[in-house]
Amino acid sequence: MNFTNLLTTFENGILLVTINREKALNALNQQTISELIKLFTEDALMLQGLKGVIITGAGEKAFVAGADIKEFSKLDAESGKIFARRGHEAFNLIENFDKPVIAAVNGFALGGGCELAMACHMRVAGEKARFGQPEVNLGIIAGYGGTQRLTRYVGKAKSMELHLTADMIKADEALRLGLVNHVVPVGEEVTKAKEILAKVATKGPVAIAKAIECINAYYKKNVNGFDLEIESFGDCIDTEDAKEGATAFVEKRAANFKGR
């Protein structure tokens, strides 16, 4: 894979993606957003045996400190909407990716950084991670899905408070609020994310993809998630993997799923 702002390694079925702009605290400039879109529409799809993706930030200080503020001055109403829409495109691709994507949050996850983490299917935070939507400090609002996704995770009252005050919260508070799945010692974020993905990798890939799709459907206003679950259950039960899963259960052995 050939990117300017993303470092990638692929090992044991896990694609580790590092946002690599450490001097700017991994702020998401337009180039990085474009690279994420390319990654989730092209490069990742070509990997044989991909089981899951981990997204983290370079260095010890930040996961991602937001969209790149230095690109804001040239924006007007029209180009601002295009700017926001492009980020939505990238983050929707992540949210709807058919393999699990975990954010390993190794430091500041602010603004677009918090929004990137929230688009992932799960979040593992280091003890020193900080989360926030500080856009109102800049006279703007979140534009990469933060008003919607933070509200889903933490509820309206806390989402209002975080967006309106620009306060940052610590990892343990994020855990208490349901924003992150796990808090781990500093430096162990990627290891924990790998541990989760290794567990998921033993399950039926079709079932994993369907579970992601159905859970996401809960938040889609134009999709009936209950209907989709019924359809998806039917699709799953008719796979070779489902036959193998039931046979393996009866034979008291581990299932050997093929993804079909």
| Antiparallel, parallel or unpaired: β 52-57 and 14-19 | parallel
Asked whether 60 and 144 are in contact (CB, 8 A), the reply is no
Catalytic one of 35, 95, 135, 189: 135
Q: At what angle do helices 205-217 and 225-237 cross, to 10 degrees?
A: 170
Can you tell me which of 143, 204, 205, 245 binds ligand HXC, judged by CB under 6 A? 143
Token pair 């989730």 in the structure block, residue: 40
Can you tell me which of 65, 125, 207, 209 binds ligand HXC, judged by CB under 6 A? 65
Is 52 a residue that touches ligand HXC (CB under 6 A)? no
CB of 206: closest distance to ligand HXC in angstroms? 34
The residue among 31 and 217 lying less far from ligand HXC, judged by its C-beta, is: 31
- What does the buried/exposed string (b/e) look like for 142-170 if buried means 16 or more CB atoms within 10 Å of the residue's CB? bbbbbbebbbeebeeebbeebbeebebbe
Q: Report the distance separating Cα 137 and Cα 129, nearest Å.
A: 20
The residue among 139 and 234 lying less far from ligand HXC, judged by its C-beta, is: 139
Is 84 a residue that touches ligand HXC (CB under 6 A)? yes
Residue 127 known to be catalytic: no
Can you tell me which of 52, 57, 87, 126 binds ligand HXC, judged by CB under 6 A? 87
Is 134 a residue that touches ligand HXC (CB under 6 A)? yes
Residue range at the interface with ligand HXC (CB under 6 A); choices 11-19, 50-58, 117-125, 134-142: 134-142
Asked whether 202 and 170 are in contact (CB, 8 A), the reply is no
Asked whether 114 and 131 are in contact (CB, 8 A), the reply is yes
Q: At 131, phi and psi to the nearest 5?
A: -120, 145
Q: Which uninterrupted H or E stretch holds 232?
A: helix 225-237
According to DSSP H, which parts of 166-224 are helical? 171-177, 189-201, 205-217
The residue among 142 and 184 lying less far from ligand HXC, judged by its C-beta, is: 142
Can you tell me which of 16, 17, 19, 25 binds ligand HXC, judged by CB under 6 A? 25
Is 145 a residue that touches ligand HXC (CB under 6 A)? no
Q: In this structure, what DSSP letter does residue 67 have? A: B
Can you tell me which of 19, 27, 125, 214 binds ligand HXC, judged by CB under 6 A? 27
Residue 161 known to be catalytic: no
User: Where on the chain is the footprint of ligand HXC (CB under 6 A)?
Assistant: 24-25, 27, 65-70, 83-84, 87, 108, 110-112, 134-135, 137-138, 142-144
